[in-house]
Amino acid sequence: MPENLSPKLQSHSCSYETDEQGLAHWTEAHADAWIGLLETHKQLTRALDAELTAQHGLSLSGLELLARLAAADDRQMHLTALAGASGLSLSRVSRIIGVLEERKLVDRHTCPSDARAVHAHINDAGLALVRAAQATHFASVQASFFDQLEEDEIATLARVFGRFAPRSAAACNIGEAGDDAA
Amino acid sequence: MPENLSPKLQSHSCSYETDEQGLAHWTEAHADAWIGLLETHKQLTRALDAELTAQHGLSLSGLELLARLAAADDRQMHLTALAGASGLSLSRVSRIIGVLEERKLVDRHTCPSDARAVHAHINDAGLALVRAAQATHFASVQASFFDQLEEDEIATLARVFGRFAPRSAAACNIGEAGDDAA
DNA sequence: AGCAGATAGTTGCGGGCGCAACCTTTCGCG
DNA sequence: CGCGAAAGGTTGCGCCCGCAACTATCTGCT
């Protein structure tokens, strides 16, 4: 199912082996990189999400949606665009927006030019919350993540992860929907 | 504990700013690194977990526990040790082991030297499954992750993530419990 | 106009996850 | 010896998440 890869390494590059008991394992660097990625992500997101929830009542996903709305041209976006930009399922976005709406942070109104679609619009209260939440959140990410990294390490991470997730860069100031092919 | 960083950025390096509307955002490299990490993790684990579930009926967490048991000295571990090693909550470990037990992949029996504790023991069926699952899983991780990386990038990731998650390296061949202070 | 197929959102459902409450056994200490 | 604190596990609960099924609308084609 994985699409086939660059020709020069098709032969294998299987950097894992099996020991005498038949248990597979990677080279140490590979294990550190992959398992470390999983572990690091788990630890950091757990802590950050807990903090965000405690201080602002927002999940990481909720903050992301709110932030994207805040950065959008007219403070609003279609749910589908939100889902595509954030990598969340549309159903999840729908429910998160529902919660944010109940909390009077966003308004939902039908798109005038397409009655199927909905504009999620962040209001002043939402804007205020997103600013406050981002301020503390960014500081936490800085302290728990970036402060442990050298400049060149950050550059490498940016290069590597930018390769996997091209939407990343757009996260700070989402332009609009429709950056996709369609 | 992380070795201290280059003197020139010790003061504090708050690498994020606010724009004229008061919205906070990072420098581009920071955004790419952090959001890219989140996004990449989301994509990769989603795909890998789906594959693992489809082919072997195991979640990523289930495989991890099984693999740790398989690598343990006598093919068994206490649930608390498993939880500590994997970064999962004890309650989650308890339930996952419960499922694995129902599937006849592990046995649960009270520790002879401490009636409170339980030994989760992987049996031959579990061992066979973990070998099969790891074989395909490792190949997938290789194809979807490592094959997109250069050697030096892998080294950087290993160094960086090893700094956050010291347990990582132990994942291939877990030694034993009790690495904690207590 | 009218129907088929695509598209936007909503919701029922089940699974993963951790926290907190709870039970049991062990340990420490008077 | 007995009592309280601590540790190992289990389970109830609620949150987050995506898939699949469903409704409503739009678009294209005849």
The closest of A176, A168, A65 to B37, measured between CA atoms, is A168
Mean pLDDT, residues B85-104 taken together:
96
Task: Count, in order, helices (H) and strands (E) of chain A.
Answer: 6, 5
The shortest CB-CB distance from B37 to any of A22, A31, A161 is to A161
Q: What pLDDT does A9 receive?
A: 38
Q: What pLDDT does B14 receive?
A: 56
Q: What pLDDT does B6 receive?
A: 39
Distance CA A170, CA B19 (A): 15
Q: Give the containing element (helix H, strand E) for A150.
A: none
Yes or no, beta carbons of A24 and B135 under 8 Å apart: yes
Distance CA A157, CA B39 (A): 12
- B120 - beta bridge partners? B77, B108
Q: Kindly report the bases of strand C lying within 7 A of a protein C-beta atom.
A: 7-12, 15-21, 24-27
How does pLDDT run across B105-146, given as a tens digit for each residue? 999 999 999 999 999 999 999 999 999 999 999 999 999 999
- The CA dihedral of A123, A126, A130, A132, to the nearest 10 degrees, is 120
Sequence-ordered strand ranges (E) for A15-87: 16-18, 24-26, 76-78
Q: What pLDDT does A174 receive?
A: 29
Work out the pLDDT band at A178, boundaries 50, 70, 90. Answer: very low
Q: What pLDDT does A167 receive?
A: 62
Distance CA B148, CA B151 (A): 10
Average pLDDT over chain A, rounded to an integer: 83
Q: What pLDDT does A15 receive?
A: 61
The closest of B62, B40, B60 to B51, measured between CA atoms, is B60
How does pLDDT run across B151-164, given as a tens digit for each residue? 999 999 999 999 88
Chain A residues within 8 A of B31 when measuring between CB atoms: 168-169, 171-172
The answer to whether A145 and A139 are in contact (CB under 8 A) is no
Distance CA A106, CA B42 (A): 26
Buried b (16+ CB within 10 A) or exposed e, B40-56: bbbebeeebbebbeeeb
- The pair of structure tokens assigned to A118 is 């909905």
Q: Which residue has the higher pLDDT, A174 or B66?
A: B66
Q: What is the DSSP letter of A2?
A: P
To the nearest whole Å, the CA of A134 is away from the closest chain B CA by: 6
Q: What percent of chain B has pLDDT over 70?
A: 79
Distance CA B105, CA B136 (A): 18
Yes or no, beta carbons of A33 and B154 under 8 Å apart: yes
Chain A residues within 8 A of B163 when measuring between CB atoms: 148
- The pair of structure tokens assigned to B56 is 């072997």
Buried b (16+ CB within 10 A) or exposed e, A68-79: bbbbbeebbbbb
Distance CA B50, CA B110 (A): 33
The shortest CB-CB distance from A163 to any of B6, B148, B164 is to B148
User: Is residue B115's beta carbon less than 7 angstroms from any atom in nucleic acid strand C?
Assistant: yes
Q: What pLDDT does A28 receive?
A: 81
User: Which residue bears the tokens 């979807």?
Assistant: B144
The closest of A58, A87, A56 to A171, measured between CA atoms, is A87
